Structure 1
């Protein structure tokens, strides 16, 4: 019978009781505040537990990393970067401008590349056309 009632009303069975004069639930603001505070506290505790777990895992990873560094004689990345920066600063101590960056290979050699392209194209052309283009 309940099934037929729910199907007919589409899930509005709770509201029917209120409409007929049944007991209406009174919302207690204090109870709602307490529930909200408990929920917030639970969220804070979960967040703290998650952070503690993360810190513990990160500490374990760092132990493994340090073991590998010790085994193979590697330096920490931060130390290596600091030494590289110090070397760059020493190289540019006497100049007023920043140090020049190395020019990548191929930059500024455009004429040579064009000649290389022409040579490549010439290889695929028949003999008489090559003679005409060489002149």
Structure 2
């Protein structure tokens, strides 16, 4: 019969492609699609950055309004002024101000007393009496 002929069983030429067979791949077309995708990603990233920059600018306007209302300073400005005050205070003197001296770096007398107290704890009673006098 006619319907068993080989040509009729194959079907249209695109059936193989639809079922996952070999496709004609055009390297330039794929390259072009990849470039378009990369460009779209770059554009989305730029839009996102612009959106967040705008939001941050609006927030900064609000922050500045609060600073003006309550007489506050920006953190960076406050730190810079504190550093300038420390420099000005220590500029004319030979010694640094008390705040600038780290703990444990000054006043050796206190350390010696604490060492003597420690030694006294380990000495027997008669020796402690002799050293106290």
Scaled to the shorter chain, the TM-score interval is 0.5 to 0.7
How far, CA to CA, are the matches of 2:124 and 2:66 in structure 1?
62
**For residue 28 of structure 1, what is the aligned residue in structure 2?**
26
TM-align CA RMSD? 3.8
Among 61, 64, 81, the alignment partner of 1:63 is 61
* TM-score, normalisation: structure 2: 0.57
User: Which structure 2 residues correspond to residues 1-135 of structure 1 after superposition, within 5 A?
Assistant: 23-80=21-78, 83=81, 88=87, 102-120=100-118, 122=120, 127-131=125-129, 134=132
Q: Aligned pair in 2 of structure 1 residues 50, 129: CA closer, same or farther (>3 Å)?
A: farther
Structure 1 unaligned spans of 5+: 1-16
* TM-score, normalisation: structure 1: 0.56
The ranges of structure 1 where at least 4 consecutive aligned residues each deviate by more than 6 angstroms after the TM superposition are none
How far, CA to CA, are the matches of 1:119 and 1:56 in structure 2?
64
